[in-house]
Amino acid sequence: RQECSSYTLLNNQDRNIKYRSGSSSLLCDSSISTGWYRFGGDAGTQLSTTCIPRKQDFNNLKCRTHVVSWLNGTHPSVSDGKVTRRVCFSWDGRCCYATSVANLKTYIEVINCGYFYIYKL
């Protein structure tokens, strides 16, 4: 697949769910360009597929953010090709946060490139 050789690598440790930061400097992806992204290095290798419950604990930030995303579904096999999966955002103790004002869930495309996954964000 062409996409498997044309992506942006995200390898910062603060993108890893195991990373904890007491820093007040937040990481925000609201201005990220649409495109294919791969996680690697200190960032880990893939989006989490389990809910990461988040409380408003500003002294224990995960991934240097208040709102943590996770893949609500399974990663595809190579033979599945390009698939669409739902991404949820944990906030205020809820796994797929949604209110009448904010609907923090979206759909992305995912490809299994054999040894790694890429995500169209």
| E strands in the chain | 8-10, 20-21, 36-39, 61-62, 68-72, 82-90, 105-112, 117-120
Instruction: Determine phi and psi for 22, rounding to 5 degrees.
Output: -95, 5
Report d(CA 51, CA 76) in Å as an integer.
18
Residue 28: the pLDDT is 59
What is the C-alpha radius of gyration for the chain, rounded to an integer number of angstroms?
Answer: 14
Quote the number of domains for the chain. Answer: 1
Residues 6+ apart with CB under 8 A from 98: 104, 105
Residues near 83 by Cβ (< 8 Å), separated by ≥ 6? 76, 109, 110, 111
Question: Residues for the chain: how many in total?
Answer: 121
What is the pLDDT tens value at each position of the chain, 121 positions in all?
A: 899 999 999 877 666 565 555 555 656 566 678 899 998 876 678 888 988 765 544 445 444 455 677 899 999 999 999 999 988 877 777 777 765 455 556 889 999 999 999 999 8
Look up the pTM and report it: 0.76
Q: Which residue segment(s) compose the domain that 107 sits in? A: 2-120
